[in-house]
A and B are shown apart, each in its own frame.
Chain A
Amino acid sequence: MHIPDGFIDAPVSLAAAVTSAGVLAVAVRKGRDELDDRLIPMAGLTAAFVFAMQMVNFPVAAGTSGHLLGGLLAAALVGPWLGAISIAVVLFVQALLFADGGLSALGLNVLNMAVVGVLGGYAVLRVLLRLLPRVRGRVPLTALVGVAAWASVMLAAGAFVIEYALGATSDVATSTVATAVLGVHALVGVGEGVITAVVVGTVLAVRPDLVYIGGLLRGPQQLEIRQPTPVVVR
C-alpha cells in the first residue's frame, strides 16, 4: 500500500502533502486535549506495534501479499486523532529509514493510510455503532471493529485510485487500475479485519480501560454494586 516515488505526479503529491499536513495539525490540537500522562506511553506503543505488524506481510492470493495498515487498530487503541498521528509517525520512519514508500510520495501515503485510513475507518465504525445501538458487548463490538478495519483498507485503496485518476504518470486507464487495486485490497482488508479484531478483542478482554474503544464497551461486568466501607470509631 506504500506508494513509491514516480507513480503520482508532483502537483498531486504536493497537494496531498499539504492536505496531510493540515489534517495532522488539526489532529495535534484535538489529540492534545485527550492526551493525559497515561495515554502518552500508550500512543507511543501503538505506533511501535503498528510498525512491527506492518513488517509481517501475509499471503492473500497467488503471488500477492498484504500487511496490516493499522488505521482502525490505532483509532481503537488511542482514538482517531492520536491514532492518525501514530500512523503518520510509522510512515515517516518507514520512508526515511527504510526507503519503504517514496519521499515525494510521503504526503500521499500519509493521506491514504493515516488520514483516510484512520479517520475514515473510524467514521465507518461510528456509523456502524449508530446503526446498531445495542451492539456494545465485547465480542460484537470486536466484530464491528473488524468490519470497519476492512472498510478502512478499502477507503485507503479508494484514495489511491482518486490520486491515480488525478495525477497518474502512466497512461493505463483509471478504470483498469481501480478494478485491480480495489479487488486485491478487498482481500487484503480481510486480513486487516481479522488481525485488528484479534488484537482489539484481546485488549478489551485484558484491560479495556486502557484503550479508547473500551469507553464504548457496555456490559453487565461493568455494573458493580459497592458497599461503603464501614468506619469504626473507637
Chain B
Amino acid sequence: MSRRTFLVLGFLLALLIAGGVAYYASSQPDGLEKAAEDTGFSDTAQDSAVADSPLADYQAPGVDSERLSVGLAGVVGVLATAALGGGLFYLMGRGRQRAAAVDIAGGERQHPETPAPGS
C-alpha cells in the first residue's frame, strides 16, 4: 500500500466513523459523568460558555434527522481537526526548516567544541 493510499484510506475511515458509526454510539453517561452522578458531585457541573454554539453536543443546526445531524457534526469535526492539526504541524515543519537554515549559516548556535577566537 502506498503512503498516499494509506493516508487517504485513514482519512476516509475517520470520516466514515464520525459521519456514520458515531450515530450508533452509546448515549449513556461516560465514566467520569457516571462516577460524578453516583458519588453526588455531578450537580457542580456548569454549562460551557459555548453551550449555545451551533454544533454543541455534536448536533448540526436545523437538521431534523438525528442520524444526519450527528453525521454532519462529525464530518465537520473531522475536517476542522484535520485542518487545525495539519496547519499547526505544517507551521511546525517550516519552523524546523528555518532552525536548520540558521545552523547551516553558522548563525546563532555556539559550537562548544570550537574554541572561541583568542582563547
Residues of A within 8 A of B (CB): 1-7, 28, 31-33, 35-49, 51-53, 55-60, 63-67, 82, 85-86, 89-90, 92-104, 157, 160, 168-170, 172, 176-177, 180-181, 183-185, 187-188, 206-207, 210
What is the 8 Å Cβ interface bit string for chain B, positions 1-45, against chain A (1 contact, 0 not)? 101001100110111011001101111111110111011110111
Interfacial chain B residues near A207, Cβ < 8 Å: 1, 3, 6
Contact A99 B22 (CB under 8 A): no
Chain B interface residue bracket vs A? 35 or more
Interfacial chain B residues near A184, Cβ < 8 Å: 31-32, 34-35
Interfacial chain A residues near B25, Cβ < 8 Å: 55-58, 65, 67
Contact of A35 among B53, B82, B93 (CB under 8 A): B93
Residue B63 CB within 8 A of the other chain: no
Contact of A5 among B24, B46, B55, B74 (CB under 8 A): B46
Q: Which 3 A-B pairs give the minimum distances between C-beta atoms?
A: A44-B86, A47-B85, A170-B41
What is the count of residue pairs linking A and B with beta-carbon distances less than 8 angstroms?
220
Residue B47 CB within 8 A of the other chain: yes
Interfacial chain B residues near A92, Cβ < 8 Å: 84
Residues of B within 8 A of A (CB): 1, 3, 6-7, 10-11, 13-15, 17-18, 21-22, 24-32, 34-36, 38-41, 43-51, 53, 55-58, 70, 73-74, 76-82, 84-86, 88-90, 92-93, 95-96, 99
Contact of B89 among A3, A5, A43, A187 (CB under 8 A): A43
* B57, B73, B96: residue with the most chain A Cβ atoms closer than 10 Å: B96
Q: How far, in Å, is B20 (CB) from chain A's closest CB?
A: 10
Given contacts A3-B32, A49-B10, contact A99 B50 (CB under 8 A): yes
The docked-state distance in angstroms from the alpha carbon of A27 to that of B24 is 35
The docked-state distance in angstroms from the alpha carbon of A56 to that of B18 is 8
Contact of A59 among B28, B58, B82 (CB under 8 A): B28
Q: How far, in Å, is A43 (CB) from chain B's closest CB?
A: 5
Q: How far, in Å, is B61 (CB) from chain A's closest CB?
A: 12
Contact A52 B46 (CB under 8 A): no
Interfacial chain A residues near B39, Cβ < 8 Å: 172, 176-177, 180
Interfacial chain A residues near B78, Cβ < 8 Å: 48, 51-52
Interfacial chain A residues near B56, Cβ < 8 Å: 98-99
Contact B6 A32 (CB under 8 A): no
Contact A56 B30 (CB under 8 A): no
* B7, B43, B48: residue with the most chain A Cβ atoms closer than 10 Å: B48
Contact B96 A45 (CB under 8 A): no
Contact of B17 among A55, A60, A157, A172 (CB under 8 A): A55
Residue of B nearest to A182 (CB): B35
Q: How far, in Å, is A4 (CB) from chain B's closest CB?
A: 4
